[in-house]
Chain A
Amino acid sequence: MQQAPHGAGSGPTQRNAEIGVAVLTLLFGLIVIYGSTLVGIGWGSDGPQAGFFPFYVGLIICGCSIINLLHGLRENPTELFSEWSQLGQVLRVLIPTAIYVALVPFLGIYVPSVILISVFMKWLGKYGTPLTLAVALGVPAFFYITLERWFLIPLPKGPLEAWLGL
């Protein structure tokens, strides 16, 4: 939506990004206002109601978002936010991380960490298997020993840890 095709540039423009963010903050402000009205924005028997403060916060967000939106519209339309190839780089980190984060509730933190580090080193770093395995297993093992054993801070564990009896 905000990444309108543009002839010269090979990527979304800074102008569109600014407009997109301003629209998003405006939406956020509207949600805050709506949420505040749900709990009351006026004066109750015991003073300001729960929505009193956030209501004005929401109003200010909307007001300033509109200013930002107008500024955004006046931006130079040729300046790039970032090139597609650069955004690709970002996605190469973001997608594995998103999968990692999604796996943590089911598999605990150790198994996904091993997978994340291996994928990164193999796929992005093109490292050999021995080094990859050493780092991918070594780092979680290090955290297991320091956190769970020394500091007695439990980390999320999944079926594998249960099977191993850790």
Chain B
Amino acid sequence: MFENFINLYHGFHIAADPFNILLMAVGILLGVIIGVLPGLGGANGVAILLPLTFSMSPTSAIILLTCIYWGALFGGAITSVLFNIPGEPWSVATTFDGHPMARNGKAGEALTAAFTSSFVGAFVAVIMITLIAPLVAQFALQFGPAEKFAVYFLAFASFVGMSKEPPAKTIVSMMIGFALAAVGLDMVTGQLRLTFGSTELLNGFDFLIAVIGLFGIGEILLTMEEGLEFRGKAAKIDPRIVWKTWKTLPKYWATSLRSCIIGCWMGITPAGATPASFMAYGVAKRISKNGKNFGNGEIEGVIAPETAAHAAGTSAMLPMLALGVPGSPTAAVLLGGLLIWGLQPGPMLFVEQSEFVWGLIASMYLGNVVGLILVLTTVPLFASILRIPFSIIAPVILVICAIGAYTVNNNVFDVIMMLVFGVLGYVLKKTNYPLAPLVLAIVLGDSAEEAFRQSLLSSGGSLGIFFSNGLVSTIMGIGIIAGIWPLLQIALNRFRRVAQPA
């Protein structure tokens, strides 16, 4: 435990380098812009900017990219409160009370509350990462292929159990991801598979292209269909409002704490920030004594989802660093970045690249402080970006996506694939297929398959290897429970109804 604090102290030395602080500020500002613009979000924003970081040192690069992520998390709140348009899926719940507050002339209060609770959520999550991640990593060092596969299984099973979409749709979307990941050269046998003789498919599908298409182009098409109209409220934040709001916030410590716990939990299991924000909102509404007034501009209704979304978004980094299993699409893109920089995420990272890991964790503390200050001072600027009409913004974003897709591999075929993924994303989104499991499966497909095959190889093809010792059976068991959780809940409800006839 003690050596972690020494490591963290060294990490602060790295993160507090003036160049890195500058990168943080740039990253946060870029991130907020990305979060504010329709069609650009954390995941595809980071994917587009990833190639720009290839020439930097990995530590500086990850600081820049994670700060873009924090910025995007902050940015989502601005559009939700001022324009009733959630810039990101996880800020949908923020619109419920944030926008009514803005309509009542309390936009400043709502934004201050949103940013501050985002900050609190993220901060709690970073503290949790600092304390728990090294332990998890140390524990995971003894994992063999079977345990590794069990962790992947747990990650994907909790998607099935926790997403609000029908389980069969979640599974289809996830398996499409696995199938796309399998296309191309098979790492184990060196054979080509599923390419059907096409040379373009030799290298398989790059998940960065999928992310840019699914989330970027798909989002633009959705926005176009809904016929976007910006009717925003003016935002003015002066220090007096900030101070006044801050004085009221400690009253809601219980809501904050609950949301932090929900967020951290949902972030570690890859359910992600979006369900976390809804869940926190729902819980706050049920428990709060102002619950009836939720939806009419209750400040607690802003605090709860924002805290949870940021806590979840931040704690999604824990499994990515410690286990190599990202907890959110954006964390998946960051994981892809680590691989490109030649760093193998997972338990060994803490041993071999301890400077990198602790520099990153320290930058999360600093990045969020920098972020809070920056967003509080620059809101009017970003609100004005939102007033640029969609017919100017849309083609510019399309061009940015195309450039982003091209620069991943310097391949024009990828630009075409991006559009295909965009149409796919639009159709899947409209028919309630979740996109996050698809992306995670493309990223993790090869490692999951490798772990699966290595386990089977050592057991001679028997699935019994996944229940061969206490550790792997426990992880698999939790995974199975997480996967069939909806079924269990139905059964439990039925049982209760039978037990207590009304």
* Interface residue? B396 (CB, 8 A): yes
**How far is A38 from B175 in the complex, measured between Cα atoms in Å?**
19
Contact of B402 among A39, A100, A135 (CB under 8 A): A100
**Nearest chain B CB to A128 CB, angstrom units:** 12
Task: Check B51–A104 contact: CB distance below 8 A.
Answer: no
Chain A residues with CB below 8 A from B191, complex form: 39, 50
Contacts of A140 in B (CB 8 A): 399
Contact A90/B398 with A104-B415, A153-B51, A156-B406 known, Cβ cut-off 8 Å = no
Contact: B189 with A54, CB < 8 Å?
A: no
**Which residue of chain B is the closest to A139 with respect to CB atoms?**
B396
CA distance A163 to B452 in the complex (A): 54
Tell whether, in the assembled complex, residue B398 and residue A51 are in contact, meaning their CB atoms are under 8 Å apart: no
> Contact between A61 and B227 (Cβ–Cβ < 8 Å)?
no
Q: A52 contacts B406, CB within 8 Å?
A: no
Asked if A35 and B389 make an inter-chain contact with CB atoms under 8 angstroms apart, the answer reads no
* C-alpha gap A36/B179 in the complex (Å): 10
Cβ contacts under 8 Å, B422 to chain A = 97
Contacts A49-B189, A64-B171, A135-B392 given; indicate if A155 touches B406 (C-beta within 8 A): yes
CB distance from A70 to the nearest CB of B (A): 9
Closest residue to B51 on the A side, CB-wise?
A153
Residues on the A chain within 8 Å of B194, using CB:
32, 35-36, 54
- For residues 158 through 193 of chain B, which have their beta carbon under 8 Å from a beta carbon of chain A? 166, 168-169, 171-172, 175-176, 178-179, 182, 186, 188-189, 191-193
Q: Of B52, B398, B449, which is within 8 A of A97 by CB?
A: B398
Interface string of B202-244 (1 = CB under 8 A from A): 0000000000000001001100111100000000000000000
**Contact at B453–A48, with CB atoms within 8 Å?**
yes
Task: Name the interface residues of A84-113: CB closer than 8 Å to any CB of B.
Answer: 86-87, 89-90, 92-94, 97-98, 100-102, 104-105, 109, 113
User: Which residue of chain A lies nearest to B458 when distances are taken between CB atoms in the complex?
Assistant: A47
Contact residues in A for B157 (Cβ distance below 8 Å): none
Interface string of B409-422 (1 = CB under 8 A from A): 01011011011001
In this assembly, does B26 line the interface, its C-beta being within 8 Å of a C-beta of chain A?
no
B431 touches A151 (CB 8 A): no
A155–B194 alpha-carbon span in the complex (Å): 30
Interface string of A141-166 (1 = CB under 8 A from B): 00100010001111110000000000
Q: Given the known A-B contacts A21-B431, A36-B194, A68-B172, are A98 and B396 also in contact in the complex, defined by CB atoms under 8 Å?
A: no
B391 interface residue per 8 A CB criterion: yes
A155-B407 in contact (CB<8A): yes
Q: Is the CB of B225 within 8 A of A87?
A: yes
Whether a CB of chain A sits under 8 angstroms from the CB of B380 is: no
Tell me the dominant secondary structure on chain A's binding face.
helix
A117 and B193 in contact, given A18-B431, A101-B416, A109-B406 (Cβ under 8 angstroms): no
CA A122 to CA B210, docked complex, whole Å:
30
- Against B, the Cβ 8 Å flags (1 = close, 0 = not) of A62-82 are 001101100100000000011
Shortest CB distance A124–B (Å): 5
Taking a contact as CB atoms closer than 8 A, the residue among A48, A64, A121, A139 that contacts B168 in the complex is: A64
Taken together as a complex, chains A and B put the C-alpha atoms of A52 and B193 apart, in Å, by 11
B193 touches A36 (CB 8 A): yes
Chain A positions within 8 Å of B225 at CB level: 82, 86-87, 89-90
Supposing A68-B166, A97-B419, A113-B399 touch, asked if A120 and B193 sit within 8 A by C-beta, the answer is no
Say whether A139 contacts B399, CB under 8 Å: yes
Q: A65-B172, A135-B396, A156-B412 are in contact. Are A125 and B402 (CB under 8 A)?
A: no
Determine how close the nearest CB of chain A comes to the CB of B306; give it in whole angstroms: 31
Residues of B close to A116: CB separation below 8 A: 395, 398-399
A120-B175 contact given A47-B453, A147-B403, CB 8 Å threshold:
no
Query: Could you show 6 A-B contacts with beta carbons less than 8 Å apart?
Result: A61-B179, A65-B172, A68-B168, A105-B412, A121-B395, A135-B392
Across chains A and B, which 5 residue pairs bring their CB atoms closest together, nearest first?
A125-B391, A120-B395, A50-B186, A35-B194, A67-B168
List 8 additional A-B contacts (Cβ < 8 Å) besides A35-B196, A39-B192, A127-B391.
Answer: A25-B176, A57-B178, A57-B179, A90-B224, A93-B220, A97-B419, A101-B402, A154-B410
